[in-house]
Amino acid sequence: MDAPLVLGIETSCDETGIGIVRGRTLLSNTIASSMDEHARYGGVVPEVAARAHLEALQPSIDAALAEAGVTLADLDAVAVTSGPGLAGALMVGVGAAKGLAVALDKPLYAVNHLVGHIAADILDAEAGELEYPTVALLVSGGHTSLLLVRDLTSDVELLGETMDDAAGEAFDKVARLLGLPYPGGPEIDRAAATGDPAAIRFPRGLSRASDMASHRYDFSFSGLKTAVARWVEQHEATGEPVPVADVAASFREAVVDVLVTKALDACVRYGVPRLLLGGGVIANKRLRDVALERAAAAGVAVRIPPLRLCTDNGAMIAALAAELIASGRRPSTLAFGADSTLPVTEIQVAEDPDAPAPDAETPAP
């Protein structure tokens, strides 16, 4: 079969993403963000996010179709994020995808949001083929996960994940402590630009020798956030101004150190000389720079999807579905819902054993 034309819908958090791909070729990637609506609350409000998705879905679909130069009738399949994410937000996308698939009589693929972040890499035409196995570090506002990917469509193992706050959440909370606006990631980055990353030695969560047995690849940023809060409180008690730049740089360095150290340790332990970085927090330049520098010293090749595809988007969901189709996976039934805690090992949800399998063929690059 020809490379499938797939429309992907992503509504796991505060961004309504609609993407269209033909196999591994990106045709359109439309994103409507409700970030400004959440800024007044200092974080994402699930009910506000769900309402914003409802309002943005149809215009975003229309815009994606126009950019791709295709119609709904041209589609070969519809894909949607089933989870993980905010339950109410996911429900909007799942409902829309089901309605669209039924109305168009097209196959529907319900897929995993986190694996979608890995699939974003295959849309980079200049990066070359994604080799397996690869270690993947996914860092976003809601997720921090370390994965061993033996095959994108059939074998993804969770090595570790955050035990409390995700890295992105920690950035938001520390930004609030420092009087910086939401979202915290870019603001911390800007403040840290003139700061000294070695000014304050903040703790590296779950990095002690005693943590290695049961939490070697897990992450914890709650203690780091508390340490920053206490440092700021103690400094304010002296009546001196808080050195925001130094605190921001030192905090960021602690997060980056833990992320990169654990990711490269996984590469060494599993004998995998490849590391893929994904998720919105990868936009942090310090994280990318440290990862590239330390990986080069360790003989590990680093892959980073284009930054516009690192944040939540529908194109990565469509790309994952296109790979599932190419591998011969059957479409999903309609008997699935929004699963806020969907495990990363469930790459596709509710595959229909009775549906005809598509002709397996590697998508055209």
Q: Which amino acids are annotated as binding site for substrate, given as ranges?
A: 138-142, 172, 185, 189, 284
Q: Which residues of 1-24 are buried (b: 16+ CB within 10 A; e: fewer)?
A: eebbbbbbbbbbbbbbbbbbbbbb
Concatenated DSSP letters for 155-184?
EEEEEEEBSSS-HHHHHHHHHHHTTPPSSH
For residue 133, give the amino acid letter: P
Annotated binding site for Fe cation: 113, 117, 312
Nearest residue to 16 (alpha-carbon basis) of 42, 63, 49: 49
In sequence order, what are the beta bridge partners of 301? 274
Residue 337 neighbours by CB under 8 Å, 6+ apart: 82, 91, 94
Annotated binding site, which residues?
A: 113, 117, 138-142, 172, 185, 189, 284, 312
Residues in the chain: 365
Determine the Cα–Cα distance for residues 111 and 30; give it in Å rounded to an integer.
Answer: 19
Ranges of H-type helices in 69-217: 87-104, 113-119, 167-177, 184-192, 212-215
CA distance 32 to 21: 18
